[in-house]
């Protein structure tokens, strides 16, 4: 394996984050802090506990997951898209660099950024709500697997996109509704039976549920089922990426 190639791609992407620090780090942290102020403090002070957990604390895992998913998709897609946009993707494709090395470089950088932002938001949450983490290792595992999975999804979106409108289509129009309807701000037990059944087709429900269980041992789904769903999602993304590089879909034209 060409470690130098992986390091070159990885550190180039990480340096791009440093150059856009306001947009890449500060903006999502401030936005999430506003959620804590509005929902955690203002709304939460007028609501009862949810499954024995204070409302402000209950929504914290969901808010972290919302930001984590959005940032990983955004970072994963923008990295490879700008290489296509500037035409430098052809230099990467013609270089003696394997597909796995390209993937590790771009996805690794996007996942690292997502993890850093997620941990910063977790630390920020401590200023607004009372937090406990019953299973810290499982919590970090969920964060890491989710970061990798959705960074790969972002990588696929970056290859698929022909313009900036398509690049922002999924992060802006698909991810937020799925996240808001995936139990971020509530337990699906409060929904009518029909909508509870519909919610189980929302993949974000499993991310939020498993992640929340690692904090409070409270979840709408079993944590093992959540881990299985993340693994299946990663497998599907890997299969799509392998097909893209094998066929040259939107890379060699």
CA 6 to each of CA 3, 9, 82, 92, 141: distance values in angstroms, whole numbers, following the listed order? 5, 5, 18, 11, 23
User: Tens digit of pLDDT for each residue in 177-233?
Assistant: 888 788 888 888 888 888 888 888 888 899 899 999 999 999 888 889 999 999 999
* pLDDT tens-digit map of 8-21: 889 988 887 776 66
pLDDT at 48 over 80: no
Q: What is the mean pLDDT of the chain?
A: 85
Which positions ≥6 away from 236 have C-beta within 8 Å? none
Residue boundaries of the structural domains of the chain: 3-247
Mean pLDDT calculated for residue range 107-134: 89
User: Which residue from 130, 95, 198 is spatially nearest to 105, judged by alpha carbons?
Assistant: 95
Q: Averaged over 96-110, what is the pLDDT?
A: 89
Q: What are residue 230's phi and psi, to 5 degrees? A: -65, -40
| Beta carbons within 10 angstroms of residue 228's beta carbon | 13
CA proximity to 59, closest of 36, 42, 38, 37: 36
- What Cα–Cα distance (Å) separates residue 181 from each residue in 47, 93, 197, 207? 19, 39, 13, 12
């Amino acid at each position: 394996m060409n470690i130098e190639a992986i390091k070159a791609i990885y550190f180039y992407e990480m340096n791009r984050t440093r150059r856009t620090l306001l947009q890449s780090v500060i903006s999502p942290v401030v936005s999430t802090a506003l959620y804590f102020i509005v929902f955690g403090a203002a709304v939460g002070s007028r609501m009862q506990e949810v499954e024995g957990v204070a409302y402000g604390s209950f929504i914290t895992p969901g808010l972290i997951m919302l930001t984590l998913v959005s940032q990983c998709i955004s970072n994963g897609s923008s990295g490879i898209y700008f290489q296509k946009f500037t035409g430098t993707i052809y230099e990467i494709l013609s270089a003696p660099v394997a597909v796995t090395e390209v993937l590790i470089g771009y996805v690794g950088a996007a996942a690292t950024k997502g993890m850093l932002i997620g941990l910063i938001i977790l630390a920020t949450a401590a200023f607004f709500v009372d937090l406990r983490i019953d299973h810290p290792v499982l919590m970090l595992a969920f964060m890491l697997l989710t970061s990798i999975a959705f960074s790969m999804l972002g990588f696929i979106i970056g290859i698929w996109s022909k313009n900036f409108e398509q690049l922002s289509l999924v992060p802006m129009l698909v991810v937020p509704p799925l996240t808001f309807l995936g139990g971020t701000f509530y337990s699906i037990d409060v929904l009518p039976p029909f909508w509870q059944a519909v919610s189980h087709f929302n993949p974000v429900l499993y991310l939020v549920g498993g992640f929340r269980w690692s904090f409070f041992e409270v979840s709408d789904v079993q944590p093992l089922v959540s881990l299985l769903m993340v693994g299946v999602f990663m497998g599907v993304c890997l299969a799509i990426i392998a097909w893209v590089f094998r066929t040259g879909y939107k890379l060699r034209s």
